[in-house]
Amino acid sequence: MLSNTYAKINEQLDTISYRRHQLLIVCGVTCSDILQGYASAANVPYVSLSLELSKELLEIPVSKRGRKVGQLVDHIIKQQGSNIICFDHLELLFHPQLHQDPMRLLEDISRNTTIIAGWNGYYENGKLTYAEPGHPEFQSYTELEASIITVE
């Protein structure tokens, strides 16, 4: 099963290399294990985005954090020194205090770097969701400039 999923990732990477946004979403509850394994097998940097972003945000006053998120994520990307990065643990991007649109942020950063992002949510009937309706971190997207692979 894993080799099949890795093959799907490689297929999608070939396809998205010609797009404006080079973003691949790996969606599902086991996406972390898959991303870690793929990153290791493909020799691609694996980054726990929430962990790295929280380190960067420590020195920034709470009132200014939302405006700095995009710059900080760019800085994290540059530190990796790679054209392809696996981003996992995106949870911090959804925190209401940061006032971010996580999908738009991922799309923006994927213009210059291919991003494989683990999405701990659901993709059904053309709709990508994170959290449950009514939850403060709930997000739902129907118009995406990303490729999506769903894993169990």
Domain count, the chain: 1
State the average pLDDT over residues 84-100: 96
* pLDDT score for 3: 76
CATH number at residue 123: 3.40.50
State the average pLDDT over residues 114-131: 94
Cβ atoms within 10 Å of 27's Cβ, excluding its own: 20
Residue 106 falls inside a structural domain: yes
**What is the tens place of the pLDDT at every residue in 35-73?**
999 999 999 999 999 999 999 999 999 999 999 999 999
Residue 99 falls inside a structural domain: yes
Domain that holds residue 46: 2-10+22-150
Residue pair 86/37 in contact by the 8 Å Cβ criterion? no
pTM exceeding 0.75: yes
Q: Return the amino acid letter for 121.
A: G
Residue 16 falls inside a structural domain: no
Residue pair 44/131 in contact by the 8 Å Cβ criterion? no
* pLDDT score for 130: 95
Both tokens of residue 74? 């760019």
**What is the tens place of the pLDDT at every residue in 27-36?**
988 899 999 9
Residue 17 falls inside a structural domain: no
Handedness of CA 54, 102, 131, 17 (dihedral sign): negative
Residue 15 falls inside a structural domain: no
